[in-house]
Structure 1
């Protein structure tokens, strides 16, 4: 029988300051899964009382960012005027459109205490007609996110729409970001409910697919979403994500994503020149910023 696993990608470690993330996308072999173009797994991290998360103001265009925390807390500020703390189980959804600036820092009341941080930071491409839209921001409380159980299997639909459920996260194209948890060995056949492209990331435990065991630190890409079937080994947490891919290629340079290279080049100039018409300052966090790095634009092979 031919395998439905089209690609197995090993998580790449990336140091972003006081903690390590596992980069799941993009890879040279696979630049996107559906509209998902970038996924970082913030590894479970204990930050000491003298360590804090401080990501200074930095820009985005042409994408939506999704932050989902399993542990800890981050304070988000942006050039739209949003200023809010995101805690475990909650979702921050920011749509950059034509341009937005945001910062992510440890909340003030935690800066002199030991704290934990664990979660996901994800970029999702925008449909071509929305790449130049006005920026927006939404915070979704954990009580609003659909959670249900079927046959001893726990599901949480963090974003998108699937199996008759819909997350309140205001996505802009057909997609899904689904958490699945089991406490005992389970056989799961969810393929008939999926669509487009699909990726699987095992956070804890292992899964068996076509007789082979797969564990953490791997991203599995299915050839056919409708054939997604697997078994968990017991206490397991995994994520399925994906959806309909775009017709046009998406280019990435640093924090800029777009189907038009010229808009990326203009964004680079605007940020380098600190053009406040293109990238306004963040109220309450405008004293520093992340400078534009110099490296080649990522492109699909």
Structure 2
């Protein structure tokens, strides 16, 4: 039997003035380990009058991981952090009991042509940390563990794997691994993986269990310990996962929690605009009104 238990294809979603490819959550798979949300941003070529502008919006109960392949984003938050992220670096923001942030094209790029391409990821917090104080960490590209084996390049963006540990300060056992190659290669790393696991194909293709798989798909493994596949030349994949939490995680808009009452309280706080403010910003994203299905 194939080790691929489910295939998830990107679905178009609008995050304001920018279209993304939504990967998680999915109706048949709400999370993979602690990973509860993944958007593929771009690739997009933006004119000199086009910019990424996501005004201040709130989060609770999660950490956000922003990882870019191309472009640049200026992050500002209610903790007073103002940090530009560029390709290969990681912005890791832990919302805890509540944080507000904006994501925009940096000022020096707003009147020139530019590219945008990357991943926006949410990682749920353990129940005992859902109400922790917000925090922010930036890890430069040079500080992300990276190595090469048999012509294949590896980068451990977050978590612990292969007796290596990323500098990103995660809050539960997980991994987020980039694998890239130029020549065809066979990969067998199942003995190192744990918990739930999935593979995202960014470019190129892979062959596994007699099937070929193309870009913009997530493959959910039946058994992480059986992770083996062949990579076509010039392929890039991301393997992510980890230990799932014993409690279900609920998601409403930008709020994640094991407690529906906390989500309801966050909704009311955002409506009343009692969340902490981003210094220097007056705009905000209104709480969406979802139509009953």
Task: Name the TM-score, length of structure 1 as normaliser.
Answer: 0.95
User: Could you tell me how far apart the structure 2 residues matched to 1:133 and 1:104 are?
Assistant: 23
1:90 corresponds in structure 2 to 89
State whether residues 4 and 223 of structure 1, in contact with CA within 8 Å, keep that contact through their aligned partners in structure 2: yes
Matched, 1:281 2:273: no
Q: For residues 134-191 of structure 1, what are the alpha-carbon distances to aligned partners after superposition, in whole Å with 9 as ceiling and x for unaligned?
A: 0000011011000100111100011000001110000000000000001111111000
Give runs of aligned pairs for residues 167-246 of structure 1, distance below 5 A: 167-246=166-245
Across the aligned residues of Structure 1 and Structure 2, the Cα RMSD in angstroms comes to 1.2
- In structure 1, runs of 5+ residues without a counterpart are none
1:290 corresponds in structure 2 to 285
1:12 corresponds in structure 2 to 11
State the shift of 1:295 in Å. 2.1
- In structure 2, runs of 5+ residues without a counterpart are none
Which aligned runs of 4 or more in structure 1 are off by greater than 3 angstroms?
none
State the shift of 1:296 in Å. 7.1
Match of 1:252, SS?
strand
User: Could you tell me how far apart the structure 1 residues matched to 2:259 and 2:16 are?
Assistant: 31
State the shift of 1:43 in Å. 1.6
User: Could you tell me how far apart the structure 2 residues matched to 1:16 and 1:271 are?
Assistant: 18
1:44 corresponds in structure 2 to 43
Match of 1:192, SS?
helix
Give runs of aligned pairs for residues 57-206 of structure 1, distance below 5 A: 57-206=56-205
User: Could you tell me how far apart the structure 1 residues matched to 2:252 and 2:291 are?
Assistant: 7
Q: For residues 172-228 of structure 1, what are the alpha-carbon distances to aligned partners after superposition, in whole Å with 9 as ceiling and x for unaligned?
A: 000000000011111110000100011111111100001110011211000000000
Match of 1:265, SS?
helix
**Structure 2 CA distance for partners of 1:296 and 1:259, relative to 1, 3 Å:** farther
User: Could you tell me how far apart the structure 2 residues matched to 1:246 and 1:220 are?
Assistant: 21
State whether residues 18 and 47 of structure 1, in contact with CA within 8 Å, keep that contact through their aligned partners in structure 2: no
